[in-house]
Each structure stands twice: as C-alpha cells, then as structure tokens.
Amino acid sequence: MYKFSVKKFSNGLRLLLVPSRESLSFRATVYVRTGANFETKKNNGISHLLEHMCFKGTAKRPSNLAITQELDAVGGSYNAFTGREVTGYYTYVARKNAELAVDIVSDIFLNSLFPSPALQKEKRVVREEIHTYKDIPQSYIFELWDKLVYGDQPSGWPIVGTVSNVLSFSREDLLRYYKRQYRAQSTLVTISGNFSSASVISLIKRYFANIRKGKASPRKPVRVSQKKPRLLLYSKKTDQTHLLLGVRGIKYSDKRRYALDVLEAIFDGGMSGRLFQLIREKLSAAYWTKSYIDYYPDYGEWRVYAGVDNCKTEMVISGILQEWQKFKNYKVSPAELRKAQNYLTGKVALSLENVHSVASKIAAQLLLYNKVEMPKDYLRKIRQVTVRDIQKVAQDLLTPERLNLVVISSSGDKRKLRKLLKI
C-alpha cells in the first residue's frame, strides 16, 4: 500500500498526497463534493454541463484550444467527470511537467469564465450526449434503473439531465450553482505519482489561494419506499434483450457490507462464478454478463446486467432469481467461502498496482466518509465473514420488497415478466 498524507489549509481546502518514487508520471485531480444528487428538478443536469464548461476558457487561457494545446504539447492527458456525489477534474503528465498540471487544473477549476457563445454551443453538444446514451442500451438501462427505483428525486434523475433543462440553462444559472457548490471545505486536491511533497504543498498553496471559502450546500437524504417488486419495460428495437435485475442494497457504513462483498464474489467471482457459469456456459444465453454492487453514504444497490437472446429472457431472469434463492435457503460451502475470500484478496492486491488508481479510491473515501479504510483492514474483515453471515445478508436483502427489474426489448411481455419476480 502506498503511504499517503493529508494536509488541511487554513481556508478549509484539503490536499491528499500519494507519492510513488517508481512512477514516471504526475497526476493532479481536483474533486468537489457535489454532483447530480445535489440538484433540484429545475436544475437537474447543471453539474454535468458546468463540468463541460470549465474547459471553455479562463482569463489566462481564453479558449478551449488554449487549454488543450498546452497539455497536448507535453503529451498530457486531461478530462473531467460528473457523478452523483462527486465531480472531478484531472491533468495527467510526465513528472517534469508537474507545475503545468497544477497550473491548468487549478485555472479551469477556479477561473473559468463560462463564455455565453461557448455555452450555447456546448448545450447542443450535451444534447447529443443525452441522445447517445439513449441509443446505447447498455448505458441507458442504468438510467432507467435509477428512475424505477428512486423515482422523482435527485437520485432518480439522469446525471446528464434532460434536454429541455440543459437547453434552458443560462450563464447566470451556471455561475450561481458554481459559487454555491465549488467551495474550499468541499474540495479535495489529490496529487499522485512522482513528486516532492514540499514543492507540491507550495504549488497548491499558491495556485489555489483564491478558492472560495466555505462549504457547498448539502444534498437531501435519498428516500426509498417500496413494498413489492417493481418492473420497467422500455420498448426499443434491438437485436437482443437487455436486462438489469437487482435489489436495493445497503449504505457504505453498514457492517453487512463485508458479507455482501463475499456473497457477490461467490456469485460473480470471474468466469468460474455462479453467474457466468449459469448464463453463458449452461444456458448459452449471453456473451457477457456482470454483477455490480454500489455503496453510497445513505443507500446502495446490487444489480446484474445481461444482454441476452430474446428467446431466453425469461429463462435468464428465472435462473438468476433461483441462484439468489439458494443463497437464502442454503449455506454456501466452506470451499466456496475460501475461494471468494481469496478472490477478493487477489483483486485488492491487483488494485494497488497503480498509484493513481489508489489515490482515486482514497480520495473518494475522504470526500464521502472523511476516513480511509486500509486494504489490510478491509481484508481482515473479509476473512472474518462466515457462511452464516452470507446466508443472513442474502435473507435480509434478497426480498420481494427490494427487487427491481428493468428490461429494454422489442419483444418483452410485461405480464410474463412480472410473474417471474418472486424471491
């Protein structure tokens, strides 16, 4: 595990340092604790549009080309992302260009002008991005899941927003949101790679001197109310049926998280896992299938995606639910438990190979929970999970009132699909 340190400046800004002497690169990432879950119905999509607009010019670099040319000239990589809980901006360069990386990422984060002509153009770009997602079932199905499970609240609205919202935003709307959310106490600057800590601290202190003090406005808690299985069937002409079957999960701080991780590793621990063996090897119903667990500060979810033969949709859904039912009714074998624990141990080891990936994971924990769980502590708790713990968490979570199914298909039968949702 890489050693890391956290420094807090007098204005409330935090700096995470994750050094690696072996690295040839330097990455500067600025995370701010805001995103789609912090929006209202009226400004849904503004976090994402604002992220786009931060690359459209500053006083020092008055255009997108001026920004990108500097980084392209040194072979750098740069981008940004908007999530439900966090928005981030990064520059990634050879270590000798460290100051340039800090200069540019701080400039776009603190000094973007959001020029109106560029905004009008970028709104059209985001409109096409929204259309792109809708044309890709593997992506759009996750947006439909949020809509089905969380309904009319921020966690149920699309991260990219709606076309009508995006086209309506003005420069003043962006500035208002930016000034309210992009603040020192809600921001974490993360530096990873090869660098001198003393020199980086000096750079951050200088380049982030004018960050707005205070804390971003908080988001409202996520509300979930469900008493029976839910189904959303989205009709679209496709060559196969896309399905997302899952349950509402648990939040990050829930102690059952370790048992659920082991359970999921038994279910989808590589090509020998129960899911792959069922869907691909036994049923020959799909080329690819994948299980996902996500934990958030106050909610969570466990979902299984598959793109399947139209004729085998019901068979696949029934097969997954039967496997889940087995977890509830029978204890897994000691051999399966050990295999899953070893699987997770190996995955953690491989995840520590890249210093920038490690820094991202540490940063997420600091931003969302203000503490870091070390890999050795996580694995110690994984090793403590028992077969009874696994059965218990399955019984807790794999229940009708938590079950949800989204299907994108040109031939789905809603009545037949609804009959399958028993667990």
pLDDT tens for 76-135 read 999 999 999 999 999 999 999 999 999 999 999 999 999 999 999 999 999 999 999 999
State the average pLDDT over residues 171-197: 98
Distance, CA of 227 to CA of 229 (rounded, Å): 7
Q: What is the mean pLDDT of residues 239-257?
A: 97
The Cα–Cα gap between 285 and 357 comes to 34
Q: Assess whether the region 5-207 and the region 230-420 belong to the same CATH fold.
A: yes
User: Which CATH number is associated with domain 5-207?
Assistant: 3.30.830.10
Domain boundaries, the chain: 5-207, 230-420
Q: Mind listing the pLDDT tens digit for each residue in 130-144?
A: 999 999 999 999 999
Distance CA 408, CA 34 (A): 30
Q: What pLDDT sits at residue 273?
A: 97
Do residues 368 and 195 make contact, with C-beta atoms less than 8 angstroms apart?
A: no
User: Residue 357: pLDDT band by 50, 70, 90 thresholds?
Assistant: very high
Residues 369-413: pLDDT tens digits? 999 999 999 999 999 999 999 999 999 999 999 999 999 999 889
Render 171-238 in DSSP notation, one character per residue.
HHHHHHHHHHH--GGGEEEEEEES--HHHHHHHHHHHTTTPPPS-PPPPPPP----SS-EEEEEE---
Q: What is the pLDDT of residue 253?
A: 97
DSSP-derived pairing of the beta strands 25-32 and 300-308:
unpaired
pTM: 0.96
The predicted-structure confidence for 215-236, as pLDDT tens digits, reads as follows 999 999 999 889 999 999 999 9
Q: 203: pLDDT confidence band, cut at 50, 70 and 90?
A: very high
In CATH terms, the superfamily for domain 230-420 is Metalloenzyme, LuxS/M16 peptidase-like (3.30.830.10)
